Every structure is written in C-alpha cells, then in structure tokens.
C-alpha cells in the first residue's frame, strides 16, 4: 500500500489576521512547519523514488513545499482554495456585518452556498475530480499540500464521509493526515508536527 499525505499549507499571514482567501506568504510559524514537514517527508518517503509533491498555485502552499528536496513538485489550479468571490480578503466578522444575508445563507447551507462571483463546496468537489482520478492512478506516494476547504473534500472522498459533512470536517493546521489505501480498505494516521 502506498500512502497519500494530506496537509494544509503552513500558517499564512492571512490566517494570522483571520482573513479568508488571498494569496499571502506564510508566517514564521508557517515557515517552521514547512521545515518540519520537509524533515518528515524526507524520512517517511526516503526510499520512495517515484513520490511527488502536489501543491496549489497559491504562494502559501508553494512556500510550504519549498524546503522539501528530492521529489518533483506539481502545481494544480484545482487544488487552490475555495474561491470566496466578493468576500475574498474579508474576515468572517466583516462578512457578517457588511453582508448579513450572505452570512446567513452560508450558515444555513454551507455545502451549496456559492459566494457571489466565487464558488460553493459543491463547485470545489466537482473541480477536484481530475485530481482524485490522478491520485487513484498513482502507484507512488503523493504529498498533497493544499487548503482547508479542498482538503475537507479530498479527505471525505478517501475516508468515505457523507457529502453533507464535508464543510464541517476538521482539518487542523500543521498536521499531516496519512491515508493508506490497501486491499482491506483505507487506514488513517495523523501526525501533529506543531501546536
Ligand atoms: O478560507 C477559507 C477556509 O479555509 C474555508 O473555511 O469554508 O469553513 O469558511 P470555511
């Protein structure tokens, strides 16, 4: 069985400020995570010549991958974070205050709610299809460095979790979720590299 390692990017500047979306760099804590992740991947995939590192096209995932050496890196637009459209760059407080109807409709149905000029979780799930097909096809391990909403969807696929749960699954920062696909089903391990 070959592992798939799922992780969010290291903490970003926008994570610190509580802003959604954007394309900021990673914080100091995020950089520390990037180093720990590289160390972990180096050990875990030492003899895995054909392994690869997949990121989104956003800086925070590319920077998180940068200390990892010795494996090819592939950028996927399909791994980019959910597009928050007109709310990109806002905090949840600002959305609640300035766009209360949007805030309420998202709360009511987070799976189907589509940000104006942006995406819904269902949109994200749909655009992940080619990534999932490619992940299934790979024989070698893959490290996927992406974003919370996207990883909720990917995780739910492998862990066989129902659609309606997807927007609420916990995918903490600075934690690796290792999925092993074997004949007897899917096994999962978590490695929390930082507090
Ligand atoms: O920036 C967006 C978040 O990673 C997704 O979180 O769907 O719970 O608002 P949310």
81 part of the active site: yes
- Minimum CA distance residue for ligand 1 atom 8: 167
Contacts (Cβ under 8 Å, ≥6 apart) of 32: 10, 194
Answer whether 20 contacts ligand 1 (Cβ < 6 A): yes
What residue's CA is closest to ligand 1, atom 1?
20
Q: Is 182 annotated as a binding residue?
A: no
What ipTM goes with this model?
Answer: 0.91
Confirm or deny that 98 is annotated as ligand binding.
no
Token code pair at residue 191: 């490695």
Q: Does residue 1 carry a pLDDT above 80? A: no
Token pair belonging to 14: 């926008």
Q: Tens of pLDDT along 41-60?
A: 999 999 898 999 999 999 99
For residues 43 and 193, the answer to whether their CB atoms sit within 8 Å is no
Please say whether the beta carbons of 145 and 61 come within 8 A. yes
Cβ 167 under 6 angstroms from ligand 1 = yes
Tell whether pTM > 0.80: yes
In the set 127, 147, 152, 174, the catalytic residue is 147
Q: Is 50 helix (H, G, I), strand (E, B) or coil?
A: coil
Size (the chain), residues = 195
pLDDT in tens, 95-133: 999 999 999 999 999 999 999 999 999 999 999 999 999
């Amino acid at each position: 069985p070959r592992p798939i390692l799922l992780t969010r990017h290291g903490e970003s500047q926008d994570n610190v400020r509580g802003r959604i979306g954007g394309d900021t760099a990673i914080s100091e804590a995020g950089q520390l995570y990037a180093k720990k992740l590289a160390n972990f991947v180096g050990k875990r995939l030492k003899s895995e010549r054909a392994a690869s590192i997949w990121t989104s096209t956003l800086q925070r995932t590319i920077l998180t991958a940068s200390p990892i050496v010795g494996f090819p890196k592939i950028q996927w637009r399909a791994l980019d974070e959910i597009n928050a459209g007109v709310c990109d760059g806002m905090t949840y407080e600002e959305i609640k205050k300035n766009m209360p109807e949007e805030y309420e409709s998202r709360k009511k149905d987070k799976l189907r709610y589509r940000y104006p000029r942006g995406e819904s979780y269902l949109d994200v799930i749909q655009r992940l299809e080619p990534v999932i097909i490619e992940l299934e096809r790979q024989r070698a391990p893959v490290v996927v460095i992406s974003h919370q909403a996207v990883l909720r969807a990917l995780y739910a696929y492998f862990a066989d979790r129902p659609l309606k749960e997807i927007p609420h699954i916990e995918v903490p920062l600075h934690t690796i979720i290792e999925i092993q696909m074997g004949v007897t089903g899917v096994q999962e391990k978590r490695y929390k590299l930082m507090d």
